Amino acid sequence: MPPAHPPPCGVAPAAAATCPLFLLPRRSRSLRLRLRRLALPAPRAATHAHDAVLLRRAADAADRSAGLTSPHPNFGCVIARPQLETDNAEAWVVGEGFLYAQGTPCAELLAAQEAGEHARGATAYLNLEPGDCYGDSTAVSTLVQAGITRVVVGLRHPLKHLRGKAIQSLRNEGIQVDVVGEDLHSKLFKEALESCLIVNAPLLYRAAFRVPFSVLKYAMTADAEQKYPTMLYWKLAGKIAASSGHASWVSGKSSRGRVFELRGRSDAIIVGGNTVRLDDPRLTARHVKGHVPVRIVMSQSLNLPEEANLWNVHDAYTIVATQRGARRDLQKKLALKGVEVVEFDMLNPRDVMSYCYDRGYLSVLWECGGTLAASAISASVIHKVYAFLAPKIIGGVNAPTPVGELGMNQMTQAIDLIDVSYEQIDRDMLMSGFIQPIPDLSPVIPSVDEIPSVDPEVSPYETNIISFYKTWDTFGAFSNFSPHPIHMPDENGDYFTWPTVEHYYQAHKFIGVDDPQAREIVQEIKLAKSPEEAARIGRTRQREFQELVCLNVLVTSIFACYSRK
């Protein structure tokens, strides 16, 4: 439900309208003043407490696209103006918006459209400084044109080439910009700031550590083991499967539904070879028709079955990461099924994460067993843990536990999770917490550092190679997903304004194919709300209707890029 629009602040309430001050005799000055106080009190000003509530609401709005589209920086905007009638900041909101996907209308535009005239003189709350990459300054120009007079920003943009730009542009336009921690100092902002950090944790981790944000998730029983047989000392030692390796299911249905949501928020899901052998998982976010993450199997031995659910790439794309030279026969068979096999000189979690970073992933979910989990934790690539605790006991000395050997022998060495939260999900308990704090906004990333070198021998400073995996990268304007429309012929040869090169590219997988199904898919892609959606439709339909795919796609895409520039 969109919020009701209260009257703009400063509009005289009914009492004043029925008794205009100029009608009062000059002598009754005290009455005049008293009435003025009653009728036209000074507009209520937002206090830090109000600002904090509204900033948090902007962060909550930013989170609303999660799971619907591929992970991207989350932007939310709340426009509010103090009302005389109420001190409740939530009731001051006149407009609200969030970025649905890269290339769709920005949060500021949606909020300003909803606020209409009420935006004039109001304050806009932004969880994250707008990133006006590719020269698109819609967010800033919208706020200026809407007549916003003050902007409260939760976080500056973490990428150096975007950081501070929008804030400066707004200030140049005479708008008061208050950045939390710089212009606004109060303990009251603690929670709001945390929400701003959490909603963009993937972007912040990626920017600071040059790896995707990694979440380890597991479901364990409430088993306990007697640590010292002579003493009555029991220690929780939850199992993630029975001794046989059977694991379906540890957690309840609602918890597993929550896991589907987590999958939808991730770019990739990682498991180890043993989990594939024992569970034959699907690893899809099948509860909603939303974002479909890539599935990654890490297997050194490549001793994997020839038939497995993960090799069905109609469901989702699969990558097998393995050791160089491992079972080339199976590699070929997997490639024929459409599975991508990537060889590493030394397969390990850190190199796989660097690889995911280079592919542009923001967020990765580890759904592996304890052996690989321990290896990933030891390599410091896990940032957050989701532990589902089920009220079940299975026993078994050899039943696997969530985290294998970490080489610690003193409890003082234990990793203390931070910002821990607990939630009951039906009969299960979900405990989540961070292993590494969300990086503050110190990361200032030299633009040249954002240029990965294809040849690891050549330093980024020496190479002329540029990359543009994400639209917000330094050279993001070159990305197919960059929100630059192109005017190019459609399936009938008529010129059509394609919202992005990605729309054009995906549609051309099916253009030129004389089949009603292919034509329907082209229409579907043309109407896609964002390049991400166009990509999702194109990729899914390509898997479903392989026989309809036209072979000229690559040439088309390159041609489209040139015509756009």
Ligand X SMILES: NC(=O)C1=CN([C@@H]2O[C@H](COP(=O)(O)OP(=O)(O)OC[C@H]3O[C@@H](n4cnc5c(N)ncnc54)[C@H](OP(=O)(O)O)[C@@H]3O)[C@@H](O)[C@H]2O)C=CC1
Min dist CB 402 to ligand AOF, Å, is 11
Tell me which of ligand X, ligand AOF, none is bound by residue 301, counting a contact when its beta carbon lies within the kind-specific cut-off of 5 to 8 angstroms. ligand X
Tokens of 245: 């390796």
Is residue 249 close enough to count as binding ligand AOF by CB under 6 A? yes
Choose the stretch contacting ligand AOF; rule: CB under 6 A; options: 125-133, 182-190, 228-236, 281-289.
281-289
Smallest separation (angstroms) from ligand X to the CB of 310: 12
SS3 142: helix
**Smallest gap, in angstroms, from Cβ of residue 257 to ligand X?**
15
Min dist. Cβ of residue 371 to ligand X (A): 3
* Residues in touch with ligand X (CB under 6 A): 218-219, 240-241, 245, 247, 250, 271-275, 278-279, 298-301, 303, 347-349, 367-372, 375, 400
Instruction: Tell me how many residues contact ligand AOF (CB under 6 A).
Output: 18
510: which 2 tokens? 């099916």
Options 108, 129, 450, 533, the catalytic residue:
108
CA neighbor of 58 nearest in space, from 103, 101, 104, 89: 89
Nearest residue to 216 (alpha-carbon basis) of 140, 273, 292, 269? 269
Contact partner at residue 256 from ligand AOF, ligand X, none, CB < 5 to 8 Å by partner kind:
ligand AOF
Q: How far is the CB of 535 from ligand AOF (least distance, A)?
A: 22
Task: Choose the stretch contacting ligand AOF; rule: CB under 6 A; options: 282-290, 315-323, 407-415, 518-526.
Answer: 282-290
306 is catalytic: no
- CB 561, min distance to ligand AOF, A: 36
Note whether 124 and 78 are within 8 A (CB): yes
**Between residues 214 and 274, which has the closer beta carbon with respect to ligand X?**
274
* For ligand AOF, the closer CB: 272 or 483: 272
Considering only 275, 331, 482, 556, the residue that binds ligand AOF (CB under 6 A) is 275
Residue 304 as a binder of ligand AOF (CB under 6 A): the answer is no
Q: Is 251 in the site for ligand AOF (CB under 6 A)?
A: yes
CA within 13 Å, CB half, 367: 25
Report phi then psi at 214, rounded to 5: -115, 130
Site membership for ligand AOF, residue 268 (CB under 6 A): no
The Cβ of residue 248 has, within 10 Å, a number of other Cβ atoms equal to: 8
Contact of 259 with 434, CB cutoff 8 Å:
no
* CB nearer to ligand X: pick between 89 and 353: 353
Cβ-contact 276, 299 below 8 angstroms: yes
User: Which is closer to ligand AOF, CB of 148 or CB of 220?
Assistant: 220
Q: Nearer Cβ to ligand AOF, position 294 or 521?
A: 294
Cβ(317)–Cβ(361) below 8 Å: no
Nearer to ligand X, 127 or 284 (CB): 284
Q: Which does 347 bind (CB under 5 to 8 A by kind): ligand AOF, ligand X, none?
A: ligand X
Cβ at position 371, least distance to ligand AOF in Å: 13
C-alpha closest to that of 64 among 104, 101, 94: 101
Nearer to ligand X, 301 or 552 (CB): 301
Among residues 89, 109, 143, 247, the one that binds ligand AOF under rule CB under 6 A = 247
User: Sign (positive/negative) of CA torsion 497, 503, 508, 511?
Assistant: negative
- Angstrom CA distances, 271 to 276, 360, 515, stand at 7, 19, 39
**Of the residues 256, 287, 350, 543, which one makes contact with ligand AOF according to CB under 6 A:** 256
Stretch that binds ligand AOF, among 167-175, 191-199, 254-262, 419-427 (CB under 6 A): 254-262
Per partner kind, with CB cut-offs from 5 to 8 A, the member of ligand X, ligand AOF, none near residue 299 is: ligand X
Query: 372 CB contacts (<8 Å, ≥6 apart)?
Result: 270, 271, 272, 275, 298, 349, 366
CB of 217 to ligand AOF, least distance (A): 7
| Residue 548 DSSP label | G
Three-class SS of 85-135: CCCCHHHHEEEEEECCCCCCCCHHHHHHHHHHHHHCCCEEEEEECCCCHHH
Q: Which does 530 bind (CB under 5 to 8 A by kind): ligand X, ligand AOF, none?
A: none
- Whole-angstrom Cα distance, residue 502 to residue 529? 12
Residue 127's binding partner among ligand AOF, ligand X, none (Cβ under 5 to 8 angstroms by kind) is none
**What are the angstrom distances between the C-alpha of 10 and each of 45, 86, 120, 342, 521?**
12, 14, 11, 64, 52
**Which DSSP helix (H) or strand (E) runs through 418?**
strand 418-425
Pick one of ligand AOF, ligand X, none as the site partner of residue 249 (Cβ within 5 to 8 A by kind): ligand AOF
Measured distance CA(202)–CA(195) in Å, rounded: 13
Among ligand X, ligand AOF, none, what does residue 401 contact (CB within 5–8 Å per kind)? none
Give Dmax (Cα) for the chain. 102
- Count of CB atoms situated within 10 Å of the CB of 85: 11
Q: Is 279 in the site for ligand AOF (CB under 6 A)?
A: yes
Peptide bond into 472 cis (omega under 30): no
C-alpha separations of 244 from 220, 239, 278, 279, 396 in Å:
15, 12, 9, 11, 9
Residues with catalytic function: 108
Binding residues for ligand AOF, rule: CB under 6 A, are: 219, 247-251, 255-256, 259, 271, 275, 279, 281-284, 367, 388
